[in-house]
Amino acid sequence: MYPYKDKKIIIIGAGPAGLSVSSVLMMAGVKHKILEARKSSGGIVGDIQNELDDFIIGTYSDGKELKKKIDEFTQKYRPPIAYGCKVTTIDNANKIVKFTQDNKQRTIDFDLLIIATGLRFNIDHRFENATFKKDIYYRISYCLDDFVDKTVAVVGGGDNATIAAIRLSPIAKKVYLINKNNFWKSRKDLIYQIENNDNIYILKNSILNNIIGDKNIDKISITDNITNEVFDKAIDKIVFKTGYLPNTEIAKNTLKLDKKGYIITKNNFQTSSPDIYAVGDIASGVLKRIAVATGQGVELGNYLINEVL
Ligand SMILES: Cc1cc2nc3c(=O)[nH]c(=O)nc-3n(C[C@H](O)[C@H](O)[C@H](O)COP(=O)(O)OP(=O)(O)OC[C@H]3O[C@@H](n4cnc5c(N)ncnc54)[C@H](O)[C@@H]3O)c2cc1C
């Protein structure tokens, strides 16, 4: 006899966290469905440009190489993923998830819902359609040659911004590091490096007003938020390192979120709603690592089959 309760289980997101929950449910023969907005699985892993060297079980030259392994997993075990399904609303009162597929609105009902929707780049939408958008970057590792002998502005105040400025400083003509605050949210060793680098020009308390140019960027306009002085800097390229945003719009009217919009969970990954769980980058206070997301997914899968189903 089938040993588990027959519940409709929906997982949102086929990244490392969502796929790992699915792998445990599949092994136990528990029916479920994964709704994934993209056309393939692996989440943002395939977008990672840097070397992945923090797993003791293997290293990868970049995220694409690891994604190939994830694709091998999905081809072999065929987790029940519906691709191209972007969830738009969680209607917890009616236990329904609304999503779009092929431009059509669809719904699916659930008894248990697992949210594993991860993060996205914090994009400055003002410049999305600019004629000079080829000069705007969110990642640099794959295209360092673009910055050789160029004047570059890096926007941000955390580790990603300070690391980008340090990496660009030996190849760029000049690097402006633009931080809206008068403090850094970065590691002390990185702050030491930017403050002692002759080619990095630090602009604190500085708000980026505008990027000006035609086919290429000519200059940026900045406001000093202490003196209110407005000034320009001639630049060729701009790199945004302003962090990530959690993909929690679908949960904001349903679940308790922390101040930054991440889903608050208990030790068993349960959210403020007893039938909804959250794992991976989307959960509040979780270290953003593939190993953590997969570990949480496996743990939640086992919790569900041992304690809930
Ligand atoms: C530039 C960069 C470098 C990184 N480097 C490393 C590193 O060196 N080592 C390391 O361990 N980690 C690294 N990470 C972090 C790592 O990628 C994440 O911790 C991990 O991918 C989290 O997995 P996840 O499943 O929680 O989320 P994700 O991988 O983000 O997957 C979430 C999935 O949910 C889907 N989704 C989102 N919203 C919806 C919706 N509304 N409907 C349906 N589907 C949806 C997305 O399409 C995506 O497939 C890096 C991340 C980035 C961005």
Read off the pLDDT band of 58 (50, 70, 90). Answer: confident
Check whether 142 has a pLDDT greater than 80.
Answer: no
Q: Is residue 211 part of a domain?
A: yes
Residue 14: phi and psi, rounded to 5, are -110, 45
Q: Is residue 2 part of a domain?
A: no
Mark whether 130 and 205 lie in a shared domain. yes
Mark whether 82 and 130 lie in a shared domain. no
User: Atom 23 (ligand 1): residue with closest C-alpha?
Assistant: 16
**pLDDT of 54:** 79
Q: Is the CB of 289 under 6 A from ligand 1?
A: yes
Instruction: Please state the rounded mean pLDDT for residues 282-309.
Output: 96
Mark whether 218 and 147 lie in a shared domain. yes
* 3-state SS class at 168: helix
Q: Is the CB of 17 under 6 A from ligand 1?
A: yes
From 42-56, 112-126, 172-186, 203-217, the region with the lowest mean pLDDT = 42-56
Q: What is the pTM of this model?
A: 0.86
**pLDDT of 139:** 83
Last residue of a domain, one of 240, 269, 285: 240
Bridge partners (DSSP) listed for residue 35 = 12, 82
**pLDDT of 222:** 97
- The CA distance from 37 to 35, in Å, is 7
Last residue of a domain, one of 220, 240, 260: 240
- The CA distance from 264 to 266, in Å, is 7
301 touches 153 (CB < 8 A)? no
Mark whether 211 and 137 lie in a shared domain. yes
Q: Is the CB of 220 under 6 A from ligand 1?
A: no
Tens digit of pLDDT for each residue in 9-30?
A: 999 999 999 999 999 999 999 9
Q: Give the count of domains, the chain.
A: 2
Residue 147's CB is within 10 A of a number of other CB atoms, namely 22
User: What's 149's domain CATH number?
Assistant: 3.50.50.60
**pLDDT of 37:** 97
Check whether 115 has a pLDDT greater than 90.
Answer: yes
Q: Is residue 216 part of a domain?
A: yes
Q: Between 1 and 217, where is the model more confident?
A: 217
**pLDDT of 270:** 97
**pLDDT of 128:** 85
- The CA distance from 74 to 93, in Å, is 33
Mark whether 258 and 204 lie in a shared domain. no
Tens digit of pLDDT for each residue in 219-245?
A: 999 999 999 999 999 999 999 999 889
Mark whether 231 and 250 lie in a shared domain. no
Check whether 49 has a pLDDT greater than 80.
Answer: no
Instruction: Please state the rounded mean pLDDT for residues 198-212.
Output: 97
Mark whether 107 and 143 lie in a shared domain. no
Read off the pLDDT band of 125 (50, 70, 90). Answer: confident
Mark whether 189 and 108 lie in a shared domain. no
Domain range enclosing 100: 9-121+244-308
Mark whether 193 and 51 lie in a shared domain. no
- The CA distance from 28 to 2, in Å, is 10
Which atom from ligand 1 is nearest to the alpha carbon of 117?
34
* % of the chain beyond a pLDDT of 90: 85
**pLDDT of 220:** 97
Check whether 275 has a pLDDT greater than 80.
Answer: yes
Which atom from ligand 1 is nearest to the alpha carbon of 290?
11
Q: How much of the chain is helix, strand and coil, in % rounded to 5? A: 30, 30, 40
Which atom from ligand 1 is nearest to the alpha carbon of 43?
49
How is residue 33 written in tokens?
A: 């469905």
Mark whether 27 and 132 lie in a shared domain. no
Check whether 303 has a pLDDT greater than 80.
Answer: yes
245 C-alpha to ligand 1 centroid (Å): 11
Q: Is residue 276 part of a domain?
A: yes
Last residue of a domain, one of 196, 222, 240: 240
Q: Is residue 292 part of a domain?
A: yes
Mean pLDDT for the chain? 94
From 119-128, 153-162, 163-172, 267-276, the region with the lowest mean pLDDT = 119-128
Q: Is residue 269 part of a domain?
A: yes
**pLDDT of 14:** 98
Q: Is residue 3 part of a domain?
A: no
Read off the pLDDT band of 57 (50, 70, 90). Answer: confident
Check whether 298 has a pLDDT greater than 90.
Answer: yes
Q: Is residue 285 part of a domain?
A: yes
